[in-house]
Structure 1
Amino acid sequence: MSKYEGTSYSNVGIKVRLSRILKNDRAVIFAFDHGLEHGPRDFMEDRYMAKTILEKVVNAGVDAMMLLPGMARLTYDIWKNKVALIIKLTGKSDIRPQDKHYLQSSLGSVEQAISLGADAVAATVYWGSDYEDEMISHWYEIKESATYYGMPVLQLAYPRGSAIKNRYDPEIVMYGARAAAETGADLIKTYYTGNKETFAKVVEMAQGLPVVMSGGAVRDKPIEFLEDVYNVIQAGGSGVAVGRNVFRSNNIEGMVRAVMKVVHENALPEEAVKELEK
C-alpha cells in the first residue's frame, strides 16, 4: 500500500488551506516565477532585487503569492504571516533548447513546500504538448503527496504545443480547464479568452472549481488589464494570478489595490484605476 493511502483528514486540510487563499471564494494571487521562466528581460533595472517588488505587493494587501522554492526561502521575512503562500513545484528556463520549451521540470517536493510554510502547491501542465505524458505523470505525483498532507494544488492549465495554433482559442482553453478538473486540480489558472462570454464557458467547463485568469503580458494601459479582470469576475471566475501587470507598473501598490477592488468589491475598472493616482 502506498504511504499516501488511508488518510481520513486530508480533505479538511485542503479546504482550510484553500480558504486562506480564496477570500469569499475570490483571490488575487501575485505570481512571481518570472525570474526563471523569462529571465532578466522581464525586470526593469531598478527591480532586479525581488524584495523591492515583494515588499510593495505585500504592503498593498494581496491575498496570496506564488513563488518558486528558492525565492520563498530568500524572502520569507517579507511575506511570513502576512499573505498565503503557494509554492510552484515545476518550471523551466527560457534559454533551454527550443524543442524542450513545452516541458516543465521538477523544482521540488510537497514536503519541501510544507517546510517553507506553504498553504498550497502549484504545477504546470502544458496540455497538448509533446511532453504532456511526462507532465501528467509528474502532476499525479504531486497531487498524491499533496492530498496526503491536506495541501490544495493549483494547476496552471496551459494549452501549448506544436499542434496548437492559438493557445487563447476559447475551445482550447475550455479543454485545458476541463482537463485540469478531470485530473484533480483544486484551483485552476488558465488563459483569458478575450471576453466574458467565452470565459464563462471556461468557468463552466471547470465543473465548479475556482478558476483564476493568468495575468499574461503587460497591457498598454492599466485600465485595459482591469477590464479583463472585471470581465473574468463577471463571467463567474474567481480572480487572477498576476505578475507582470503588477511588477512592471509605475505604481505597484496602486495596481494591486486596483485589482483587489475589482476582484473583491466588484468595482468598475474606471473606479478601480483611480488607485493608481494615489
Structure 2
Amino acid sequence: MKRRWHNIFKNDRKAFILAMDHGNGLNVLPEMQKPGEIIKKAVAGGIDGILTTFGIANNFQKEIDNIGLILRIDGGNSQLATEKEPMKNLYSVEDAVRIGADGVLCMGFPGAYLEEATLTNLAKNAADCHRWGLVLGAEMLPRGFESTPDARDPSNVALACRMGAELGADFIKTQYVGSKETFRKIVDGCYRPILVLGGSNTKSDEEILKMVKDSMEAGASGVVMGRNIWRHENIEGICRAITKVIHENIDVTDALKEL
C-alpha cells in the first residue's frame, strides 16, 4: 500500500484531491459536460489526485494519467429518489484494483437513520483494502445528510472522525467546523490524516482559500474539493492557488494572485 499512499499524499504528507464523484446520483450538468477537460485543467493546476466514479475512471484514463486515483465505491440513491435507502457498496475493492485505483472512498454516518449500514460497509471495506493493499478513505459525517441541530457539532464530528479511524480508514474526509481551535481538537483526537471537504455552496475565491488556509493551520492534511472547482470559471487558476496554500503554505492574498 505504501506506493499507492504516496500516489495520493505527497512527501509533505499533504494532499489536494479533486472530487468528481457527484454524477452517480446528482445532476452535474452543464458544468461537468466535458469531464476530460476539467481533469486536464485541474492537473495543470497541481492537484495530487482525483476522487471519482467508475465511469469517469474508466473513460478518462489518459487525462487522469499518473495522479492518485480514488474510486467512490458506495452510493445507491439519486436526487430523483422518493425514498432514501442507506448508502451501500456499488463496487468492490477488487473492482477498484482492476481499474487501477490507488484507493477507494465510502461513507460513514454515525447517528444517522440505519447507521449500522454505512458503518458495517466501512468495516468490510477496511478489511478488503487491507487484503488488496489499497488506501481507504472514509467520509465521516454525523447524522449523515440529516438536517439536525447537532449534525455538525464539533464534538460529534470529532466522534465520527475517530470512529472512522477505529473502523480501519487510512484517511478521513469531513467538514471543517467552527474555529481553528475547535477543529484542531478534532484533528488531535484522530490518529489518521483528515482531509476537509470543499462544501456544496458556491463561495468567493477568497472564502474558498481562507477555508483551505484555516483548515491547514488547524492541522488538516489537505482538502477534497469538487463543486467549487469544476464550477469555477478558472479551474486551473483556482487549483494552482489551492495547491500553493496546501503545499507551499502561502497566504490567501498571495494565493489570489494565481487567479
Distance 2:257 2:73 in 1: 36
Equivalent of 1:200, from 184, 187, 191?
184
Q: Tell me whether 1:39 sits opposite 2:27 in the alignment.
A: yes
Equivalent of 2:65, from 44, 57, 80?
80
Equivalent of 2:168, from 181, 184, 202?
184
Equivalent of 1:258, from 223, 227, 241?
241
Deviations 1:80-123 (A, max 9, x none): 22x110111112322223443xx212220111101111111111
Q: Tell me whether 1:231 sits opposite 2:218 in the alignment.
A: no
Unaligned runs of 5+ in 2: none
Equivalent of 2:9, from 22, 37, 40?
22
Distance 2:220 2:32 in 1: 31
Q: Tell me whether 1:241 sits opposite 2:224 in the alignment.
A: yes
CA contact (8 A) 1:194 1:228 kept: no
Unaligned runs of 5+ in 1: 1-12
Identity of aligned residues (%): 34
Task: Please give the root-mean-square deviation of Cα atoms over the aligned residues, in Å.
Answer: 1.6
Q: What is the CA distance between 1:49 and its match in structure 2?
A: 2.3
Q: Tell me whether 1:210 sits opposite 2:197 in the alignment.
A: no
CA contact (8 A) 1:110 1:121 kept: yes
Q: What is the CA distance between 1:270 and its match in structure 2?
A: 1.1
- Corresponding position of 1:159: 142
CA contact (8 A) 1:157 1:190 kept: yes
- Corresponding position of 1:10: none
Q: What is the CA distance between 1:203 and its match in structure 2?
A: 0.4
- Corresponding position of 1:130: 113
Number of residue pairs matched by the alignment:
256
Instruction: Detail structure 1 runs of 4+ shifted over 3 Å in the superposition.
Output: 161-164
Distance 2:147 2:233 in 1: 38
TM-score (norm 2): 0.93
Secondary structure of the 1:261 match is helix
Query: More displaced, 212-221 or 162-171?
Result: 162-171
Q: Which amino acid aligns with 1:28?
A: F
- Corresponding position of 2:205: 222
Q: Which amino acid aligns with 1:150?
A: G
- Corresponding position of 1:149: 132
Secondary structure of the 2:219 match is coil
Q: Tell me whether 1:90 sits opposite 2:48 in the alignment.
A: no
Q: Which amino acid aligns with 1:35?
A: G
CA contact (8 A) 2:88 2:117 kept: no
Secondary structure of the 1:159 match is coil
Compared CA separation, residues 163 and 228, structure 1 to 2 (3 A): closer
Distance 1:238 1:46 in 2: 28
TM-score (norm 1): 0.87
Q: Which amino acid aligns with 2:60?
A: T
CA contact (8 A) 1:195 1:228 kept: no
- Corresponding position of 1:71: 56
Distance 2:186 2:206 in 1: 23
Secondary structure of the 2:149 match is coil
Deviations 1:46-102 (A, max 9, x none): 542222311211222210001111221111121122x110111112322223443xx
- Corresponding position of 1:117: 100
CA contact (8 A) 1:56 1:252 kept: yes
- Looking at secondary structure, tell me which structure has more helix per residue: 1
Distance 2:220 2:68 in 1: 20
Q: Which amino acid aligns with 2:133?
A: G
Deviations 1:185-213 (A, max 9, x none): 10000011032111101101212x11010
